Structure 1
C-alpha cells in the first residue's frame, strides 16, 4: 500500500529526467530557466534534476560563450558527449570499416580492413567484431558504454523479414538475416541498413547535406544506390525498397538488366557502363583515375561521355524533383569525382525537365569522400537518430554503469 506513492514519485522523477535529457539532445545547450519553460516544470524541479544528472556525469555545463548573454557562458547545460559511445560498421564487397564516435559526433576511433570479395558473411562479421573490440580496448571504452551499432551491408533489406535481398550478382549478404546474425555476434543493439543509404545519412549529418531536412543522396558507382531523407529522417518505403534510382528505366526497349527490367539507368550511368563508353577513346586498359585526369585537362571525348551521362541522370532526377521536391541533391560515388563536367549537365537537365516550382534544387557533390569509412560514419549517425527513446536509454545506462 505504501509502495505506490514512492514508486509513482520515482517514475515521475525518472520521467522528468528523461524529458530534460531529451530536450538537451534535441535543442543543444540550454539554460536552466529555458529547460524549465520547455519542460513545463518549476525551476526548483529542474534545479533538482540538473544537480542529479550533473552528479552522475550524464550532463555537463557548457564552456562555450553564449552570444545572447554578452559572451558569457551563462551556465548552459548539454548532454555529456562522452556519456555514451555510438558505433558504425560498414561492410562493402572488399572490406569492412568500424567507426566510434561520442554523442557529440566527435570521432573516438576509426579503422578498417580489406577482405576478399568472396568472403562469406560469418567471416565478415568476425572481422568487424574483431575491429570493434580492438578500437574499444585502444580507446579505453567499456562495451556497456556502446549504445548501439549501425551496420551497412550491400543490397536492399526487407523491412518485414530483415532478409537482405539481391540487386547485383555476387552479393555476399544475399538471403541473410544480417541484423540477427550481427546482434548475436556483437551482443549490442544493432540497426542494419543498405550502405549507400548510410552514406546519405552521413552526408546529411556531417557533410554536404548539413542542415537540410529534405535531401536526396545518390552514389554513381558500380551500382546506383541512394538515400532519401524526408523531414530529417531516413525514408525506406513500405518494405525497404525506396530509392532504387539505378533501376528506373530510361529506355523500355533498352538492354535487359539483371534485375529483370529493361533499359535501367545503371546500364547507362553505372561505372561499368561509363567505362565501356569511355574506353574506345581512352584505351581498354586505361583506369578511371587517368580518364578523369585527362578529361579535366580538356580531352573532348571524356567531356562528351560525362555530359551524356549527366544529362540522362538529370532527366531522372527531374522526375524525382517533381515527385518529392527535395531541397538538395548530393552526388557521391566514384563517378562524382568527374566534378562539373558531370554535374553541370545534370543541373541543366533538371532545370529543363522539372516543374518550375521544383527545379531550383541545389545539386552538389558529396563532401565526405569515398570508401567504407563514409558508410560507417552514417551507421553511427543512424544510431543517434533512430535509437528508440535515446534519453531513456542514456538514463538507464548511467543508472547502472
Structure 2
C-alpha cells in the first residue's frame, strides 16, 4: 500500500469508528494538518467522504464548523437483537445514520433456527421498504443475551434465552442469514452504541450497565470493547449479593439477577399489588407516587450499587451508563444506587465517576450497537470504493 493510500485509510478508519468529525478532530490520525486537508479533498472528490454542517450550538458564536462523514451510499449495516420476548432490527447507512428500525414479538421457547428465519424475513422486508437489496448490505451484527465463549463460540449457560444455551450463534446465523456477520453479547453492543452515538462519545474507559432479563455490563477499556479472555467479562448479574439468597438460573445463590432484574422486581409486588405488573408499569406507578413500587425499585438500585462498587474498585471507569428496561426509572433507581455505591467504593481521594442514564432508547440501543460493530470492523467489512 502506498503512503497516500495508507493516509486515506487512516482518515476513513477514524470516520468509521467515531462518526462525523471536523478537520481539526482528524488530528487523532497523527497526520499533519496539511496532509489531512489534502487527503480529505481526495476522499471528497472520490465520493467516499462528504461534508455537512455541524449541529447549531446556541452557545457558540460565529459560523458552525463543517463536519466530515463517510458517504451514506457506500453500503448498509444491519443490527439485530434476539432478546427475551422480542426480535429487533435496525439498518444504518455508512454515514452512521439510522434509516429504519423494526421489531416483532417472539416466544422465548422459539428455537434458534426459527428465530433466525424470522430475523431473515424481517431484514428482507426492511430492505424492501428502503428500496435496497441484500447486495447493499456490508454486514450484519447479531446480538444475543448472555456470554459467548471465545474458544468455542457457544452461548454460555448464563444465557437468559434457554434454547440458545450451547448454540454456536455465529455459525448458525451465517447459515440462515446468508450475509457477512459478527455476533456478540447484547450489553457489549449497547456499549458500542453509546460510544458511537450517545453518552460515552469521545471517552476511553466506560462501563455500560444493561438491564434486561439479566443484568450485564459492556466494557470499553482504553477505547476498545473488552470481552475478556473467555468472552464472559461483564456478567454483573451473576455477582453474589447474598450468599444465602435465592438460587439463580446459573446455579449460584443470591446473584444480583435474583434481586434486581425486571422479573425479581415485579415478583416482589405480586402479593401487595395482586396483578402481575410489567416492569414498565411498575416504573410508571413509581413515578406517580406508588410507595410499594418506589420501594422495590430503590431496593434494586441499592443492590446494583453494591455490585457496581466492586466493578469500579477493579476497573476504575471514567463514566458508568445505565441502559435497558430499568433506565426509565431514572433517579428513583439511581439515587439509592449512587448512595450504595459511594459507601463501598474506594475513592482514593477522587470523585466517583458519574453514573447516568444513557442517551439512547432502550428499544434501539442494542441494534444500533450491533450495526456500529459492523461499521467499525474494517477487516471483516471492507467498504466499497474506499
Instruction: Give the Cα–Cα distance (whole angstroms) in 1 for the partners of residues 64 and 334 of structure 2.
Output: 45
Q: Does 1:228 align with 2:215?
A: no
Contact residue 350 and residue 359 of structure 1 kept, 8 A: no
Distance 1:64 1:236, change over 3 A: closer
Q: Does 1:363 align with 2:350?
A: no
Three-state SS of the structure 1 residue aligned to 2:99 is strand
Matches for 1:54-65 after TM superposition, within 5 Å: 54-62=44-52
Contact residue 318 and residue 359 of structure 1 kept, 8 A: no
Q: Structure 1 residue 236: deviation in Å?
A: 0.3
Q: Structure 1 residue 16: deviation in Å?
A: 4.5
Q: Does 1:259 align with 2:246?
A: no
Task: Tell me which residue corresponds to 1:89.
Answer: 80
Q: Does 1:398 align with 2:365?
A: no
Three-state SS of the structure 1 residue aligned to 2:306 is helix
Q: Does 1:218 align with 2:245?
A: no
Task: Give CA-to-partner distance per residue, 1:104-161, whole Å, 9 cap, x none.
Answer: 2211222222223222112211121222222223323343432221111122111122
Q: Does 1:156 align with 2:147?
A: yes
Three-state SS of the structure 2 residue aligned to 1:88 is strand
TM-score of the superposed pair, with normalisation by structure 1: 0.82
Three-state SS of the structure 2 residue aligned to 1:172 is helix
- Range with bigger deviation, 98-107 or 54-63: 54-63
Matches for 1:301-340 after TM superposition, within 5 Å: 301-340=292-331
Three-state SS of the structure 1 residue aligned to 2:120 is helix
Three-state SS of the structure 1 residue aligned to 2:305 is helix
Instruction: Give the Cα–Cα distance (whole angstroms) in 2 for the partners of residues 290 and 38 of structure 1.
Output: 51
Aligned partner of 1:28 among 17, 21, 24: 21
Instruction: Give the Cα–Cα distance (whole angstroms) in 2 for the partners of residues 112 and 151 of structure 1.
Output: 14
Contact residue 282 and residue 291 of structure 1 kept, 8 A: no
Task: Give CA-to-partner distance per residue, 1:271-329, whole Å, 9 cap, x none.
Answer: 22222322332224444444333332333333333332222221121111111111222
- Range with bigger deviation, 334-343 or 95-104: 334-343
Q: Structure 1 residue 249: deviation in Å?
A: 0.7
Task: Mark the structure with the bigger radius of gyration.
Answer: 1
- Range with bigger deviation, 354-363 or 147-156: 354-363
Task: Tell me which residue corresponds to 1:242.
Answer: 233
Instruction: Give the Cα–Cα distance (whole angstroms) in 2 for the partners of residues 52 and 126 of structure 1.
Output: 42
Instruction: Give the Cα–Cα distance (whole angstroms) in 2 for the partners of residues 303 and 262 of structure 1.
Output: 25
Q: Structure 1 residue 171: deviation in Å?
A: 2.0
Instruction: Give the Cα–Cα distance (whole angstroms) in 2 for the partners of residues 342 and 53 of structure 1.
Output: 47
Greater fraction of residues in helix: 1
Instruction: Give the Cα–Cα distance (whole angstroms) in 2 for the partners of residues 314 and 162 of structure 1.
Output: 31
Three-state SS of the structure 1 residue aligned to 2:298 is helix
**Structure 1: tracts of 5 or more residues without a match:** 1-9
- Range with bigger deviation, 253-262 or 243-252: 253-262
Aligned partner of 1:98 among 89, 92, 99: 89
Contact residue 87 and residue 104 of structure 2 kept, 8 A: yes
Contact residue 148 and residue 190 of structure 1 kept, 8 A: yes
Matches for 1:129-148 after TM superposition, within 5 Å: 129-148=120-139
Three-state SS of the structure 1 residue aligned to 2:385 is helix
Three-state SS of the structure 2 residue aligned to 1:18 is helix
Contact residue 96 and residue 115 of structure 1 kept, 8 A: yes
Q: Structure 1 residue 168: deviation in Å?
A: 4.8
Distance 1:349 1:264, change over 3 A: same
TM-score of the superposed pair, with normalisation by structure 2: 0.85
Q: Does 1:114 align with 2:101?
A: no
Aligned length: 379
Task: Tell me which residue corresponds to 1:7.
Answer: none
Give me the CA root mean square deviation.
Answer: 3.3
Q: Does 1:197 align with 2:184?
A: no
